[in-house]
Amino acid sequence: MAIKTYGIDFGTSTIKISRKGQGIVLDERNTIAIADRKAIIATGDEAYDMYEKAPTNIVVSHPVRSGVIADVANMTALLECFIRKLSGSKRPGTADYIVATPSDITEVERRSFYELISRSNLKVGRIKIVDKPIADALGAGLEIMSARGVMVVDIGADTTEVSILSLGGIVLSKLIPIGGNKLDEAIKGIVKKKHNLYIGDKTAENIKKKLASALPNVEASVNVYGRDVVTGLPALMEVNSKTVYEAISEYLYSIIDAIRIILERTPPEISSDIIDGGIYVTGGSANIFELEGLISKETGLKINICEDPSNTVARGLGRIMDEPQLFGLADALRPKNLID
């Protein structure tokens, strides 16, 4: 029987798993709920539903932070649960794994993704690593194997990665610690400042999805529930889009600055390719209203918001597994001898 191959995108907010020949087979929150410090009671979307609502004996955590593994034990347990779920067995058979990792991280951080799988209780065949911008571009349907350069901006939950790719590799890349979660925090802060209202992360995310705009020409509002700072009692307030724009605009311009830095360092021949093809934007926060207009206004370039931008990395991993000519883009990473 052929060995199964899984492609894994360990996102800060969500974990997505592709299976060779089947595409994306799992898309759930990268969240785990543990009771009394030992018993796993929920994983994925079910665990996320408990976030900010659990009693003190239940800890709901996110094992990945800023694109890298912050809690190895919980991430291992979460991965094992998901693979068992996909295989339909408590003892899954041997499988190969391809993992997408940010390109602008240390070798130790990159190795942690490898060792997470190799030291798990899963039956593991080969483990390969692929730079996330490469998988991202492939998932967006871009041609990266030719000498034509492409620019991809991936706005994730905790980070934004700006990359130039050509000939199947990364020419330039910059990772900045700004993503959707930072926008949520900014919204929480301004609602507290302007309305004297404490709101949770989920409420802030919901406000962002409904009201966030990259340009200040949108007028809309939503009613939100929270806790009054002064009285400590539950309260209902109206938040408008101008308030949200005020909260997030600084961070959006930080992303613009990162794009400019990469453009300034781009070789002239690739610059001409980018002028022709434009900039491709992926990641969950690519759906912010008028983001295309803001980046175009500030760079003077054509902006392409990719279709289904939050799933481009997982789709790219699927292409690497399914298309033999692309499989070489994933590299084997061998663990160093601990004596060294």
pLDDT tens digits for range 35-86? 998 899 999 999 999 999 999 999 999 999 988 999 999 999 999 999 999 9
pLDDT: which is higher, 269 or 2: 269
Question: Is the pLDDT score of 318 beyond 70?
Answer: yes
Q: Report pLDDT for 224.
A: 96
Question: Is the pLDDT score of 220 beyond 50?
Answer: yes
- Over residues 85-106, the pLDDT tens digits come to 999 988 899 999 999 999 888 8
> What are residue 162's DSSP bridge partners?
153, 174
What residue has token string 């692929």?
130
First to last CA, the chain: 38
Provide the pLDDT confidence category of residue 340 given band limits of 50, 70 and 90: very low
Q: Report pLDDT for 22.
A: 96
Mean pLDDT for 217-238 is 95
- For the CA atoms of 37, 38, 44, 47, the dihedral, rounded to the nearest 10 degrees, stands at -50
Percent residues over pLDDT 90 in the chain? 91
As given in the structure block, the two tokens for residue 261 are 């830095």
Directed axis angle between helix 241-265 and helix 291-299, to 10°?
Answer: 40
> What are residue 332's DSSP bridge partners?
128
Per the prediction, the chain carries an average pLDDT of 93
Q: Report pLDDT for 105.
A: 87
Q: Report pLDDT for 339.
A: 29
Q: Are 259 and 178 in contact (CB under 8 A)?
A: no
Domains of the chain with bracketed CATH: 4-135+313-332 (3.30.420.40), 141-178+253-310 (3.30.420.40), 180-247 (3.90.640.10)
How far is Cα 206 from Cα 183, in angstroms, rounded to an integer? 11
Mean pLDDT for 109-118 is 93
- Over residues 156-212, the pLDDT tens digits come to 999 999 999 999 999 999 999 999 999 999 999 999 999 999 999 999 999 999 999
Mean pLDDT for 317-322 is 96
Q: Report pLDDT for 66.
A: 86
Directed axis angle between helix 241-265 and helix 201-211, to 10°?
Answer: 80
β-pair type (14-19, 32-35):
unpaired
Q: Report pLDDT for 309.
A: 96
> What are residue 27's DSSP bridge partners?
16
Give every CB contact of residue 333 below 8 A, 6+ residues apart in sequence. Answer: 110, 111, 114, 127, 128, 129
Q: Report pLDDT for 1.
A: 41
Report H helices in 33-149. Answer: 44-50, 72-87, 107-118, 132-139
Q: Report pLDDT for 335.
A: 40
Report H helices in 196-240. Answer: 201-211
Question: Is the pLDDT score of 29 beyond 90?
Answer: yes
Directed axis angle between helix 72-87 and helix 107-118, to 10°?
Answer: 50
Provide the pLDDT confidence category of residue 3 given band limits of 50, 70 and 90: confident
> Strand, coil or helix: what is 42?
strand
Question: Is the pLDDT score of 2 beyond 70?
Answer: no
> Of 109, 126, 130, 108, nearest to 117 (Cα)?
126
Q: Report pLDDT for 89.
A: 87
> Of 277, 282, 271, 275, nearest to 313 (Cα)?
282
